[in-house]
Structure 1
């Protein structure tokens, strides 16, 4: 799935649990049919670095997966959703922001070779 909007918040990376699960969240302001929405996305593991190359007020296209999961606690079942971004493209440029595991290199810069 994909959506276009303006980045209005970028949060710090979080490391969760003993397995060192990494996530980093951001909020995208989207205006569709005259209605404004603020949607919180997450990036996970090696994709958390894609947020290093965008800033507040950037207009971007976000490619993402929508997921959901059942959760039962104390006999009560509930569901939660996740909106997980895996690619960001700056609108109005050819810049694509992705990540490669183990790197923290700005993909918008020329390679040294």
Structure 2
């Protein structure tokens, strides 16, 4: 799945526990009739992917949805969801790479010339 929008917030990397679990949060505002602010978590080595990005950039983020169950002390099951990012692309940079330079186009042939014989069968 993918989320496309503008970066609203990039938090600093947080480290948890003695094993050094790392998490970094990104908020992307979608460009829709009713814009959504989507919180996306990057974990472990994926935290470093956000270093090259800044607030205000248009991005495409590849995500996975994660869900888990937790049994509270009263024995009730509670469910939690998270959105985990695993790839991020700068849309402005990707768009400029897909447009060939203007000097790569060949000029159109001049079809108005009557010097050539008409070899059409009709």
Please state which band the TM-score falls in when normalised by the shorter chain: 0.7 to 0.9
Aligned to 1:79: 79
Structure 2, unpaired ranges of 5+: 96-122
| CA-based RMSD | 1.3
Alpha-carbon distance in structure 1 between the residues aligned to 2:23 and 2:15 = 7
- Name the structure where helix makes up a greater proportion of residues: 2
Per-residue deviation, 1:27: 0.3
Aligned to 2:66: 67
Alpha-carbon distance in structure 2 between the residues aligned to 1:70 and 1:31 = 32
The runs of at least 4 aligned residues of structure 1 exceeding 4 Å deviation read none
TM-score by length of 1: 0.79
1:94 aligns with 2:110: no
Aligned to 1:36: 35
Question: How many residues are aligned here?
Answer: 94
Aligned to 2:54: 55
Alpha-carbon distance in structure 1 between the residues aligned to 2:70 and 2:39 = 20
Matches within 5 A, 1:1-16: 1-16=1-16
Per-residue deviation, 1:31: 2.4
Structure 1, unpaired ranges of 5+: 96-113
- Name the structure where strand makes up a greater proportion of residues: 1
**1:46-105 CA-partner distances (Å, limit 9, x unpaired):** 00001100000000000010110001120121111110001001113239xxxxxxxxxx
SS at match of 2:42: strand
